[in-house]
Structure 1
Amino acid sequence: MGLYLIPGLTAGTQISRTELAGMVGWEGKKVMDTLIPGIATDRQLAIYDKVNERQAQLSQDECLLYDGVKEGLAKLSTQYKLFIVSNCAKGVISRFIDWAGIDDYITDEVAYGINQMPKNYNIKLLVDKYELKRPVYIGDTEGDGKQSRLAGLPFVLVTYGFGTTDDYDLKFDDFTLLTAHFVGL
């Protein structure tokens, strides 16, 4: 387990990989408030930006694309508009799309880092912009489920990701099964 020094804080301020893993999918503001409470918002944002700059420099050799995702997105994109909504920093989604080679399948994306707004807001932005009629939100955490509900969308849980929840409308254990379901509708 590695420990990481957060740039801009006093020496000795460390956050473990385990702590960070439990926060995957959280909005940046919530992460900062949890990890470094009591620090002014502008300082938190500066630290958040610095961490994200460092993250952008890391090698993508350790990135993981789950089995069946690229092929599934290719099939789904022939019948549906596909979007990525994430609580990540600005630029992370586009780097991921480039790395995964899925640009042809994704219609649009919105990250928390673009507007500092929660997923439910960003989901609604895309629903309105593209006049979507019966969208669903696919995610892997309890937070995704909550944001989907706040946006007024059914929540589809994929169980191979970062979290768990019992609050979902549909559940799939792998992307191939998810793809087969939606292509078959």
Structure 2
Amino acid sequence: MQKDGILFDLDGTLWDAAARVVESWNLTLRHFPEVGPITEAQMKGVMGKTLPKIGEALFTGVPVARAHEIVARCCDEENAYLERTGGTLYPGLEETLATLSARWPLYVVSNCQEGYIEAFYAAHGLGHYFAGSENAGHTGLPKWDNISLVARREGLSRVLYVGDTEMDCDAAHRAGVPFIHARYGFGRAPEADYTIDALAELPALVARIWA
């Protein structure tokens, strides 16, 4: 029996947690005087990268190993903070997830650390809409490999990946998966196969793609 699945990026696609992440990280960064506080603009500029790459981009004034150590410490404390505060959900998110999950299984595939997706679920009570997830912090794999991993593990015949950046688009295509660009998010994706300007457009678009 054919089984289709929709995979989602998280940051810039389902929620915008950049402001809360920056708050959390700046609390942690007080323990690292060799680097200064970061801004929301800086965070949005690196969200979607793997955590080591985020550290290297944000903390250029310290050795790479120290940058990795600092970003790991920030992430350790970030999950609990986000579970308490939540982020900003994009308009129509829960309604869209309810509509989609009634027809197709949904998954989150992100370059985040372990526990970050669970913090999103816990903060907003949305975990029951998703059949599973995968992240780079758990597997150590790039996003395209995690997309393929979820598709194989779940026995998905057809897959769509929804994300907001060119990196997401590249990952989907490297995994052999059509990409839907969430243009309301953090980035551009000129090579996207499909586009949406709001989450509410997604159910009708998926229905047309898989008609």
Q: Using structure 1 for the length normalisation, give the TM-score.
A: 0.87
Q: Secondary structure at the match of 1:161?
A: coil
Partner AA of 1:52 in structure 2: C
TM-aligned CA deviation for residue 58 of structure 1: 2.4
Structure 2 match to 1:30: 53
Residues 79 and 183, structure 1, Cα contact 8 Å, conserved in 2: no
TM-aligned CA deviation for residue 116 of structure 1: 2.1
Partner AA of 1:93 in structure 2: I
Q: Secondary structure at the match of 1:136?
A: strand
Deviations 1:130-174 (A, max 9, x none): 121110110011110011111111110111111112110110101
Q: Which runs of 5+ in 2 are unaligned?
A: 1-18
Q: Aligned residue pairs: how many?
A: 184
Provide the rounded CA distance (Å) in 2 between the counterparts of 1:89 and 1:17. Answer: 19
Provide the rounded CA distance (Å) in 2 between the counterparts of 1:62 and 1:128. Answer: 31
Residues 137 and 154, structure 1, Cα contact 8 Å, conserved in 2: yes
What percentage of residue pairs aligned between the two structures are identical? 28
Q: Secondary structure at the match of 1:137?
A: strand
Provide the rounded CA distance (Å) in 2 between the counterparts of 1:180 and 1:11. Answer: 50
Deviations 1:20-62 (A, max 9, x none): 2200111112112223356354x44432221012222425446
Provide the rounded CA distance (Å) in 2 between the counterparts of 1:99 and 1:19. Answer: 24
Provide the rounded CA distance (Å) in 1 between the counterparts of 2:191 and 2:168. Answer: 10
Provide the rounded CA distance (Å) in 2 between the counterparts of 1:110 and 1:62. Answer: 20
Deviations 1:83-110 (A, max 9, x none): 0001111101011112222222101001
Structure 1 match to 2:38: 15
Distance 1:12 1:35, change over 3 A: closer
Residues 148 and 155, structure 1, Cα contact 8 Å, conserved in 2: yes
Q: Secondary structure at the match of 1:22?
A: helix
Distance 1:118 1:97, change over 3 A: same
Residues 54 and 71, structure 2, Cα contact 8 Å, conserved in 1: no
Following superposition of structure 1 onto structure 2, how do residues 133-152 of structure 1 map, counting pairs within 5 Å? Answer: 133-152=157-176
Structure 2 match to 1:176: 200
Q: Secondary structure at the match of 2:133?
A: strand
Partner AA of 2:188 in structure 1: T
Q: Which runs of 5+ in 1 are unaligned?
A: none
Q: Which runs of 4+ in 1 moved over 4 A?
A: none
Q: Quick one: higher RCO (CA 8 Å, sep 6+), 1 or 2?
A: 2
Structure 2 match to 1:155: 179
